[in-house]
Amino acid sequence: MPTFNKSLVWFRRDLRVFDHAALFHALKQSEQVFCVFIFDRAILDNLPRQDRRVEFILQSVIELDEALRRKGGRLIVRHADALTAIPALAEQLGVDAVFVNRDYEPHAVSRDAMVAEELQAAGRTLMAFKDQVIFETDEVLSLAGKPFSVFTPYKNAWLKRLHLAGDDFFLKAYPVESYCTRLAEPPPNLRGDMPALADMGFEKTNLGTLGMPTGMSGAEILLQDFASRVDKYHLSRDFPAVKGPSYLSVHLRFGTISIRGLARKAVDAMRLQGCSGSTTWLSELIWRDFYFMILHFHPHVAERCFKPEYDAIRWESGEQAQTLFNAWCCGATGYPLVDAAMAQLNQTGYMHNRLRMVTASFLIKDLGIDWRSGEGYFAEQLNDFDLSANNGGWQWAASSGCDAQPYFRIFNPITQSEKFDAEGKFIRRYLPQLSALPGKYVHAPWLAPAAVLQKAGLVLGRDYPLPVIQHDVARQATLTRYAVVKKASVTAVDE
């Protein structure tokens, strides 16, 4: 017999109606279940007025509402401050409990704690469940009962726990369909209309012209496409001109697809086919859990270095540093792979994972700019921005994070370009002014003879910038900068 008479499911980073922990538990434990999504002003008011993520969320919320209506329910949508809107709506609906899937970011943790207090004061309960990860917080610990700070032993423990419990236990989908008859339509006076972008103070972006599929249906399209080539994922994932990644990261970020479903597919492919691509893909999904765990146990990483000694590093500052940072942001550093990657980010809100490492290394170890500046810019631009993964990636590049690359390993933007975009296809796609350059020179145009530049119709400094810094000089400056951490003389490893 259900525990609650009426409950409310508060959708956040989980915009789907299937394999949904909070929705399943609410339906199973309640006679009636209402559903709500809040366009939270506490978040949205700090965003630029053109933001692809808001448009992606809106399209996904529209599809979510349509799916709930087909099942007998309806989505209440508000543009408000969630901190006050959720307790108020719970009061208006007369619910006994509010069901959510846990969010692990510091702001969300604080918000949910305050909402829980407000609900409790009114005699209501906030019920929270694990949904956006396979293993959360303290579910994977070392033999000493401590959180891991190195990925490989964490991954081994993660896999061991998965297999000891039986692969189906932690990856099994929540059977929401079994209880959908308990979905309820809200009273007419509480329904409201679906807000438009303009209603929330936002303008349309180029999301539609990018061909990025949104919502649950969009996630399924991408998943089916990736399933046909996942066996080659380990071979193709590092080459930005190749269709290698799944492109599902934004869908994982907003929960239009289930992490359990993805991990299940990877495990099945590994078990049935011995697929190396799926093994590598599963490892990437485990990295996602790893960074969520790090953020939970070490929330200071949101503002400071994971390794405190790295806070002693003196970064470049002043007008010249700001000029260099601006050049990096707009893709005008004079290093084609870096600039093409930043053009991809600025034009689409997406950046290939290999290029995230290259551009981060260039900002930190070539330009000497504080990693937090780059982290903040990515946070503004990335469609799939996720605090834990973004922070983990930037601190990895800065060598200040957990299991980060050694500080003396420095990406060479030319070598990386020659290795991962050998023919310059990616560079030419996003830097068409370099399209006529022979492959030999597209990675470093300033090395091209004058006759080659003239034939390509390219004037450096006018059509494309000269390098803002010399990599070899920057590499030595990085070792000096990082000397405060290790107090040792180390030869840089140029990759």
What digits encode the pLDDT tens for the residues 289-303?
999 999 999 999 999
Residues 425-430 have a mean pLDDT of: 98
Residue 405 has pLDDT above 90, yes or no: no
Q: Are the C-beta atoms of 168 and 18 separated by less than 8 Å?
A: no
Residue 406: the pLDDT is 86
pLDDT in tens, 145-162: 999 999 999 999 999 999
Residues 181-186 have a mean pLDDT of: 97
Residue 294 CA to residue 137 CA, distance in Å, equals 8
Residues 214-235 have a mean pLDDT of: 96
Residue 274 has pLDDT above 90, yes or no: no
Residues 41-57 have a mean pLDDT of: 96
Portion of the chain with pLDDT greater than 70, in percent: 97
Residue 377: the pLDDT is 98
Residue 382 has pLDDT above 90, yes or no: yes
Residue 489: the pLDDT is 46
Which amino acids are annotated catalytic?
284, 287, 315, 353, 371, 394
Query: At the topology level of CATH, where does 133-173+216-297 sit?
Result: 1.25.40
* pTM recorded for the entire structure: 0.95
Residues 22-37 have a mean pLDDT of: 98
Residues 309-317 have a mean pLDDT of: 95
Tokens of 237: 């994932």
Residues 95-105 have a mean pLDDT of: 97
Q: Coil, helix or strand for 27?
A: helix
pLDDT confidence tier of residue 270, bands split at 50, 70 and 90: confident
Q: Which of these CATH numbers, 1.10.579.10, 3.30.70.890, 3.40.50.2300, 1.10.3720.10, describes 308-494?
A: 1.10.579.10
Residue 492: the pLDDT is 57
Residues 425-446 have a mean pLDDT of: 96
Residues 380-407 have a mean pLDDT of: 94
Could you tell me the residue ranges of all domains in the chain?
A: 1-132, 133-173+216-297, 308-494
Q: Are the C-beta atoms of 134 and 159 separated by less than 8 Å?
A: no
Average pLDDT over the chain reads: 95
pLDDT confidence tier of residue 487, bands split at 50, 70 and 90: low
pLDDT in tens, 2-19: 899 999 999 999 999 999
Residue 98 has pLDDT above 70, yes or no: yes
Q: Are the C-beta atoms of 5 and 30 separated by less than 8 Å?
A: yes
Residue type, 424: G
Residue 83 has pLDDT above 90, yes or no: yes
Residue for token pair 């011995």: 274
Residue 127: the pLDDT is 98
Cβ neighbours around 338 below 10 Å, total:
29
pLDDT confidence tier of residue 1, bands split at 50, 70 and 90: low
Residue 97 has pLDDT above 90, yes or no: yes
Residues 312-328 have a mean pLDDT of: 97
CATH number of 1-132: 3.40.50.620
Residue 488: the pLDDT is 45
**Phi and psi based region of residue 72 (left: phi greater than 0; alpha: psi -120 to 50; beta: remaining):** left
Residue 401 has pLDDT above 70, yes or no: yes
What are φ and ψ of residue 11, in 5° steps?
-75, 140
Residue 116 CA to residue 98 CA, distance in Å, equals 9
Residue 381 has pLDDT above 60, yes or no: yes
Residue 269: the pLDDT is 87
Residues 114-132 have a mean pLDDT of: 98
pLDDT confidence tier of residue 493, bands split at 50, 70 and 90: low
Residue 7 CA to residue 19 CA, distance in Å, equals 18
Residues 410-415 have a mean pLDDT of: 96
